[in-house]
């Protein structure tokens, strides 16, 4: 008889485990992801005890994917299992992950997931087909940038962690603050700003999927899962800056942070990041820039004093 069983579970059961999980984040929060199409959650049980939950999002009947704007969509463990002695973690994690692999392999042709940065032991996936010539698992190291211990900082401490150029930009930007105002942006305008301010090109089908996902995230932020800061010129009412942050119990996750080109040169993005860190320093302990995987963007995010965090992106096909 198998020691561990994998079965589909409902969102409320998964939510109970998520609440105290050391691997919790907004992107595996059952209450949050239940709003998205194609989401299912599977649990690993030892007898009646739920050890680990693994949410997935299907892009088709036989494929599991990571959607636009998502990070760390993968397993989260019960605190009891994470807190067990180190000598017990390896056999427990190896056996549970192996059960998940066999289960997903029987259901899907491809599955794509990311491990939270608190879960760096990915040996189960590396070892699973170690002796096979055509290995199915592809493992990619990725990085995010996080400012931690926000709850223990004040405004001057936050500022002291910035690179000199950021402090210079903030000081210089003071002359522009009377020219701008905060306002409540509409969904269609936020989506338009994302494309107008971004430097990326998408195919028509990609753009359609991206817009749908961004629109849903906008709605969920308005329902309490996040906050949107939008700024415009007082005189012209032209939209010049938008950021969108999602929250879990301990962290803020930067989803969108974009500005009109002229105002970007003036330093409004630096002003916006500084605004966010000071606004949420008494509410959340971690500010996650969500990704630092290119030289320019990585350097930009670390210029605010963020520390790199390694996580893994894993594909099976």
Annotated domain spans of the chain: 5-139, 149-284
- Judge if 5-139 and 149-284 fold alike in CATH terms: yes
Token pair belonging to 125 = 């996936």
Q: Consecutive 10-residue runs of the chain (317 residues): their mean pLDDT?
A: 89 98 98 97 97 95 94 97 94 96 96 97 92 89 96 94 96 97 97 87 87 97 97 98 96 96 97 96 95 89 96 96
In angstroms, the CA 22 to CA 20 distance is 6
pLDDT at residue 200 in the model? 72
Q: Which stretches of the chain are DSSP H helices?
A: 11-18, 30-33, 79-82, 86-107, 123-127, 155-160, 164-173, 187-197, 204-220, 261-266, 268-280, 295-302
pLDDT at residue 56 in the model? 97
- Rounded to a whole number of angstroms, the CA Rg of the chain reads 21
pLDDT at residue 258 in the model? 95
pLDDT tens for each residue of 222-271: 999 999 999 999 999 999 999 999 999 999 999 999 999 999 999 999 99
Which class is 149-284 in CATH?
A: alpha beta
What's the distance, CA 58 to chain centroid? 18
In this structure, what are the phi and psi dihedrals at residue 114, rounded to the nearest 5 degrees?
-130, 140
Overall fold of domain 5-139 = Aminopeptidase (3.40.630)
């Amino acid at each position: 008889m198998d020691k561990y069983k994998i079965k589909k579970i409902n969102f409320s059961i998964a939510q109970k485990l998520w609440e105290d999980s050391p691997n919790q984040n907004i992107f595996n929060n059952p209450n949050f992801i239940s709003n998205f199409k194609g989401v299912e959650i599977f649990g690993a049980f030892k007898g009646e005890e739920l050890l680990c939950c693994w949410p997935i999002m299907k892009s088709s009947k036989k494929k599991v994917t990571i959607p636009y704007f998502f990070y760390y969509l993968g397993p989260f463990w019960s605190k009891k299992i994470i807190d067990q002695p180190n000598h017990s973690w390896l056999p427990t994690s190896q056996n549970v992950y192996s059960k998940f692999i066999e289960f997903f392999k029987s259901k899907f042709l491809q599955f794509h997931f990311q491990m939270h940065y608190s879960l760096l032991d990915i040996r189960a996936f590396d070892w699973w087909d170690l002796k096979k010539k055509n290995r199915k698992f592809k493992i990619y190291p990725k990085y995010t940038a996080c400012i931690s211990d926000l709850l223990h900082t004040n405004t001057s401490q936050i500022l002291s962690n910035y690179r000199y150029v950021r402090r210079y930009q903030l000081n210089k930007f003071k002359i522009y603050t009377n020219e701008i105002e905060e306002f409540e942006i509409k969904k269609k305008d936020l989506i338009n700003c994302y494309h107008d301010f971004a430097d990326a090109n998408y195919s028509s089908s990609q753009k359609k999927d991206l817009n749908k996902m961004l629109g849903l995230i906008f709605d969920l932020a308005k329902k309490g899962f996040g906050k949107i800061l939008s700024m415009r010129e007082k005189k012209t009412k032209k939209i010049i800056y938008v950021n969108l942050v999602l929250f879990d119990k301990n962290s803020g996750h930067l989803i969108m942070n974009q500005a009109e080109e002229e105002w970007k040169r003036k330093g409004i993005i630096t002003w916006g990041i500084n605004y966010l860190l000071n606004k949420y320093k008494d509410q959340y302990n971690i500010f996650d820039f969500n990704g630092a995987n290119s030289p320019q963007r990585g350097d930009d995010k670390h210029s605010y004093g963020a520390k790199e965090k390694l996580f893994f992106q894993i594909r099976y096909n």
